[in-house]
Amino acid sequence: MSSPVKAVLVFTWGNPSRGDDAIGPLIHDRLQASGFTHFNVLTDFQLQIEHSIDLEDRKRVLFVDASMSVPAPFGFSRLRAEPDSSYTTHAMSPASLLAVFKQVNGQEPPPSFLLSVRGYEFDLGAPVSGAANRNAAQAFSFIEELLEHDSTEVWLSRIC
């Protein structure tokens, strides 16, 4: 049974068996255990076209993933609906997912943001590195701070 749709969705993704790619699921598990009840949290191995349904009836969406291209501990940015070729692959980018939402629903997607947490080691079978764990802990604190505010403007003011 799924939980009722809440105004805010935190959507994490990553592969728990590929080292620091597990940052998204790690943050998902911490959010699930946190006891917060005013938002929904989802996780998957990758974004898929079907996830556009999960964006319906939301006021804000926060996507969380590991990244090798941001400075530590994380980057936080606003997302825009932008079609790209990722919808034809096994995994989609968040911007492409927003574009699918716009196309299917005939309306703008909810304000959406990407929290990219710095990872270092993505080898199959590797554990999450100590540095990535520290970055994930700082990202989790940042997420807690964001979720305290029911305001897109506050989220926009935190873009780095």
Show the domains of the chain with their CATH numbers. 8-157 (3.40.50.1450)
Amino acid at 112: S
The model's pTM: 0.93
- H helices of 19-129, in order, are 23-33, 94-105
- H helices of 10-129, in order, are 23-33, 94-105
In tens, the pLDDT along 11-61 reads: 999 999 999 999 999 999 999 999 888 999 999 999 999 999 999 999 999
Instruction: Look up residue 11 and give its DSSP letter.
Output: E
Instruction: Look up residue 65 and give its DSSP letter.
Output: E
Give 150's pLDDT tier (boundaries 50, 70, 90).
Answer: confident
CA distance 116 to 128: 15
- H helices of the chain, in order, are 23-33, 94-105, 130-147, 152-157
**For position 1, what pLDDT does the model report?**
46
β-pairing, 74-79 with 112-118? Answer: antiparallel
In tens, the pLDDT along 86-139 reads: 555 557 899 999 999 999 999 999 999 999 999 999 999 999 999 999 999 999
What is the CB-side half-sphere exposure of residue 50 using CA atoms within 13 A? Answer: 3
Contact 23, 66 (CB under 8 A): yes
- Structure token digits, residue 91: 């995994």
Rounded to 5 degrees, what are φ and ψ at 78?
-85, 140
Name the CA dihedral angle for 68, 72, 77, 82, rounded to a multiple of 10 degrees: -10
